[in-house]
Structure 1
């Protein structure tokens, strides 16, 4: 009789655990992380297209466009970080439930203590993450650096994400971590190649630029290799043309430097560095002993004229 009683109690406890814990283990999440990520990316693309349209229509200058674009990318970076924090909390909670369930089945008294400890630890972790989220609005450089590092880790696990690699590259450039930026842009080029629906030339040009900065403004063999690969995909890739112009000017090949820089002004007159390029063109004409073209002076305004005098 006593044995039957305890067997009955044990059976009832197991049934209760099944009915209580089963929905927690196998219930579907109402809003998957993947869906949330896709919505964030769609919102980002829509807003970026709107900014580009305003720039093309003249409602927004290039400086304002770049500033708003950087702000938009940082906002997306924060949203992705928030989404992954929520996903990690959910996955960690489910794993804890599985472990606790097994412990309860094997040894109910011990399992009760384990369950208590596990739930208490989960509450502490949740509170800690909430404090992190509240501090995001006042992030300093170390916070941004840590966030970027977590994005790097996430992309290593999910490399087929061109938008993520582009964001990572720009973030590293802003942090002046040029070697890491070059690696990110290299991964961006590979992601584009794997997708098969784009030209990696711009990514390779950005990689060349980052390597140029990492090597203290020297066109090394790896910089030259990145430039060559970029121009194989697009002979007019502007970052590569700019670097080639700099190297030609340093070597005293002023006519060649003019060819590169004037090509940039021809195909990308609204380039963010157009004013600096015009000053370089004016300096090259000055070295050649030739007058600066009037159209260059008119487009560049007073600063270009001063550079050429």
Structure 2
């Protein structure tokens, strides 16, 4: 039994960073807060309904804006809840987490099982590459002016984004936009470019998205974010202040916008 004591001590040591994190004062989540709050406004289900003809243009636009507002409101509520967390309760839970993990390991653990070697992981990644390469070849064989090809590029971009491959995702989405422009997809590319530290590459997409939908709050916010990330806080302030002036007092994203404005240097 004494052989387990070092493992228990290691488990408690591993929980120390978590304890330090929950005891720190809550801080703003920065760019990712804005990304999550504004990006998830697009829902694939609404788009599918619209493309299938079961939802007209006006209904699709209204539903998308409403879901966008709810998601932004949820992000704000999550941040407010984070600022009200109870350190005492969290500290009390930490030892229980360690004990629970230890108990589960005793029941289900297999200490003699080796971890997956690098070669196995590399082979799995290679298989994924092979499958996506075949999919890409099939899309290439389609009429590149057709909606079928466009949808194929969109789905391929989604798959590459899910694999954590932003360059391939952007390349596939760009092919889709070459077939038919869609402001939402252009906004997705712009957001991904900002997230990977390339705000200059996001600017042309935001320009086109705003030309198509000049009043869209997501695109206007991202335009300000691109300026802020490019080291032009004065431009970001002008863009966000203009958006704030047109934002209703009860809009769920107003608090987020005000916080981002106040954080500018």
Give the TM-score normalised by structure 2. Answer: 0.42
Q: Which gives a bigger RCO, structure 1 or 2 (Cα 8 Å, sep 6+)?
A: 2
Flag the structure with higher helix content: 1
The structure number with the bigger radius of gyration is 1
